[in-house]
């Protein structure tokens, strides 16, 4: 077997100028397939992670108004009581924006002395937000009216922020501040820590997140209402909900959406790059397949005298068949080895951070190698069969 491998490598090396372009095509195809495989594997990996909130039986109402709405407790309290009068509504909460929206707000935070500076997404939430979204704290407790007299803004943070702001110590009860703020920096106190809250859903990479307590009149207006409705509430509920909202504030505009619909729209948008990349890769692989098949056909034709001589010396048809396929597999292996040497630099240097972790890299590499090996095998089957069925007499008289 060693002698056979050595012989095949010598044959490939002698035709290195012919094989160079073919190797480059295989290398390029491998890199493209790897990119798609890595994207798909990472999305699958993300989909298995918890998102941190419930989306079933959740509705969002976005308030759209040309003029600023009154930012006072009476307005929000009246709106909440009116919505809870609807038999379908179980919980009502207010927040800056609903899950599965494209918008994001971020800010910089640090410890009171300015150390451990962290950039994080920020999402104001009312006291009932966590119960409405059916969230569970990993540590601590949700903020409530008992925090009205707090000396710092009660805040929920996720595990990523807790580990970065307060490494090695329990985060609950700790104080931090806004790192960039005109005037006196706002102070926050950690009420609870959650493991995850991925507002854009299952295909969102984990991010740093801070959820300060929203108190009407204190800071910015919360323009989104979150509703938890009874299981099985039909879409027709939207008209009754809209009528009830208009009865409260006929001069306001409302955009109502079940979170399940927003989730579907977000998933379609997040899967669009994978779809586009897959179409491009399919065309590329077809082109590579045609090129590979054509080159193998030409190489086999040029080697007919060599094949005839080997047949005359006693090589059987199966041996010739396996040789043609083995040569192509070795050529593909060499091209993929070069590609892997280049690609392995990405997780080593951390260019894509968590998006290309080692499990994703190895799985994508294995899938890509499988695709390239299958393509090489399919393209070499017919040229190998054609070479194997030549009789020694036909091959030695070929011109």
Q: How far is CA 121 from CA 137, 189, 208, 334, in A?
A: 18, 17, 6, 45
Domain-located, residue 159: yes
Q: Name the CA dihedral angle for 33, 371, 23, 359, rounded to a multiple of 10 degrees.
A: 60
**pLDDT surpasses 60 at 15:** no
The more confident residue out of 108 and 18 is 108
Q: How far is CA 336 from CA 215, 288, 330, in A?
A: 58, 14, 10
Q: Of 76-85, 159-168, 317-326, where does mean pLDDT reach its minimum?
A: 317-326
pLDDT in tens, 179-231: 876 667 889 999 999 999 999 999 999 999 999 999 887 777 888 999 999 99
pLDDT in tens, 63-75: 987 666 778 888 8
To the nearest whole percent, how much of the chain has pLDDT over 90?
A: 53
Q: Of 16-30, 119-133, 196-210, where does mean pLDDT reach its minimum?
A: 16-30
Q: Are residues 85 and 224 both part of a single domain?
A: yes
Domain-located, residue 55: no
pLDDT in tens, 338-376: 999 999 999 999 889 889 999 999 999 999 999 988 888
Domain-located, residue 259: no
The more confident residue out of 280 and 45 is 45
Domain-located, residue 186: yes
Of 199, 223, 251, which closes a domain? 251
Q: Are residues 156 and 219 both part of a single domain?
A: yes
Q: Of 25-29, 65-69, 184-188, 263-267, where does mean pLDDT reach its minimum?
A: 65-69
Q: Are residues 43 and 150 both part of a single domain?
A: no
The more confident residue out of 156 and 298 is 156
Between CA 236 and CA 214 the distance in angstroms is 31
Q: How far is CA 352 from CA 47, 349, 355, in A?
A: 18, 9, 5
Domain-located, residue 59: no
Which residues constitute the domain of residue 232? 66-251
Of 188, 221, 251, which closes a domain? 251
In sequence order, the 6+-apart residues with CB closer than 8 A to the CB of 355 are 42, 205
Both tokens of 160, joined, read 């990523």
Between CA 70 and CA 52 the distance in angstroms is 31
What confidence category does residue 160 fall into, taking pLDDT thresholds of 50, 70 and 90?
A: very high
- Would you state the pLDDT for residue 152? 93
Q: Are residues 224 and 294 both part of a single domain?
A: no
Euclidean distance between the first and final Cα of the chain, in Å?
Answer: 33
Q: Are residues 193 and 244 both part of a single domain?
A: yes
Q: Are residues 178 and 237 both part of a single domain?
A: yes
What confidence category does residue 109 fall into, taking pLDDT thresholds of 50, 70 and 90?
A: very high
Between CA 49 and CA 363 the distance in angstroms is 18
Domain-located, residue 89: yes
Between CA 27 and CA 185 the distance in angstroms is 54
- pLDDT winner (highest mean) among 16-20, 86-90, 177-181, 279-283: 86-90
Q: Are residues 23 and 73 both part of a single domain?
A: no
Q: Are residues 291 and 379 both part of a single domain?
A: yes
Number of domains composing the chain: 2
Which of 114, 227, 120, 273 lies closest to 179, judged by CA? 114
- Would you state the pLDDT for residue 254? 92
Element of type H or E holding 120? strand 118-122
Q: 3-state class of 187 per DSSP?
A: strand
Between CA 312 and CA 283 the distance in angstroms is 42
Q: Are residues 71 and 186 both part of a single domain?
A: yes
Domain-located, residue 143: yes
Between CA 69 and CA 82 the distance in angstroms is 17
Both tokens of 140, joined, read 């601590």
Q: What is the mean pLDDT of residues 107-111?
A: 93
**pLDDT surpasses 50 at 2:** no
Between CA 224 and CA 176 the distance in angstroms is 26
Both tokens of 277, joined, read 């990349």
Domain-located, residue 258: no
**pLDDT surpasses 60 at 1:** no
- Would you state the pLDDT for residue 303? 58
Q: Kindly state the DSSP code that residue 93 receives in the 8-state scheme.
A: E
Q: How many CB atoms lie within 10 A of CB 369?
A: 20
Contact (CB, 8 A) for 120 and 210: yes
Mean pLDDT estimate for the chain:
84
Q: Are residues 355 and 217 both part of a single domain?
A: no
Which residues pair with residue 60 across a beta bridge? 226, 257
Between CA 217 and CA 72 the distance in angstroms is 5
Q: Are residues 142 and 96 both part of a single domain?
A: yes
- Would you state the pLDDT for residue 32? 87
Which residues pair with residue 94 across a beta bridge? 225
In sequence order, the 6+-apart residues with CB closer than 8 A to the CB of 95 are 123, 124, 125, 126, 129, 214, 222, 224, 226
Q: Are residues 209 and 278 both part of a single domain?
A: no
Contact (CB, 8 A) for 194 and 142: no
Both tokens of 179, joined, read 């790192």
Task: Find the radius of gyration of the CA atoms of the chain.
Answer: 31
Of 220, 251, 282, which closes a domain? 251
- Would you state the pLDDT for residue 213? 95
Q: What is the mean pLDDT of residues 317-333?
A: 72
Q: What is the mean pLDDT of residues 110-122?
A: 92
Q: Which long-range contacts (CB under 8 A, 24 or more apart) does 115-119 make?
A: 116/164, 116/165, 116/166, 116/167, 117/179, 118/161, 118/164, 118/165, 118/208, 119/208
């Amino acid at each position: 077997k060693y002698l056979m491998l050595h012989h095949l490598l010598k044959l490939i090396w002698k035709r290195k100028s012919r094989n160079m372009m073919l190797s480059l095509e295989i290398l390029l195809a491998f890199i493209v397939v790897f990119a798609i495989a890595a994207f798909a594997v990472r999305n699958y990996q993300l989909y298995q992670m918890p998102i941190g909130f419930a989306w079933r039986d959740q509705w969002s109402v976005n308030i759209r108004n040309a003029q600023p709405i009154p930012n006072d407790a009476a307005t929000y309290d009246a709106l909440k009581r009116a919505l809870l009068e609807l038999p379908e509504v179980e919980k009502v909460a207010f927040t800056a924006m609903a899950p599965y929206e494209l918008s994001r707000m971020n800010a910089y935070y640090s410890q009171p002395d300015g150390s451990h500076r962290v950039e994080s997404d920020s999402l104001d939430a009312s006291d009932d937000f966590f119960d409405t979204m059916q969230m569970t704290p990993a540590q601590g407790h949700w903020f409530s009216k008992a925090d009205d007299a707090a000396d710092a803004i009660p805040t929920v943070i996720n595990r990523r922020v807790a580990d970065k702001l307060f490494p090695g110590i329990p985060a609950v009860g700790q104080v931090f501040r806004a790192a960039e703020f005109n005037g006196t920096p706002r102070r926050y106190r950690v009420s609870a820590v959650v493991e995850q809250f991925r507002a854009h859903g299952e295909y969102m990479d984990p991010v740093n997140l801070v959820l300060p307590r929203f108190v009407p009149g204190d800071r910015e207006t919360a323009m989104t209402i979150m509703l938890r409705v009874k299981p099985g509430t039909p879409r027709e509920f939207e008209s009754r909900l809209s009528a009830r909202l208009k009865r409260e504030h006929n001069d306001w505009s409302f955009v109502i959406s079940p979170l399940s619909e927003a989730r579907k729209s977000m998933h379609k948008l997040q899967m669009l790059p994978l779809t586009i990349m897959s179409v491009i890769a399919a065309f590329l692989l077809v082109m590579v397949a045609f090129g590979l098949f054509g080159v193998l056909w030409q190489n086999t034709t040029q080697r007919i005298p060599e094949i005839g001589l080997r047949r005359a010396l006693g090589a059987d048809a199966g041996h010739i068949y396996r040789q043609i396929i083995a040569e192509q597999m070795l050529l593909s292996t060499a091209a993929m080895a070069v590609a892997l040497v280049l690609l392995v630099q990405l997780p080593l240097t951390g260019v894509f951070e968590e998006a290309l972790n080692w499990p994703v890299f190895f799985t994508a590499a294995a899938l890509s190698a499988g695709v390239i090996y299958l393509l090489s095998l399919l393209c070499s089957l017919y040229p190998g069969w054609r070479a194997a069925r030549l009789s020694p007499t036909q091959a030695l008289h070929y011109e």
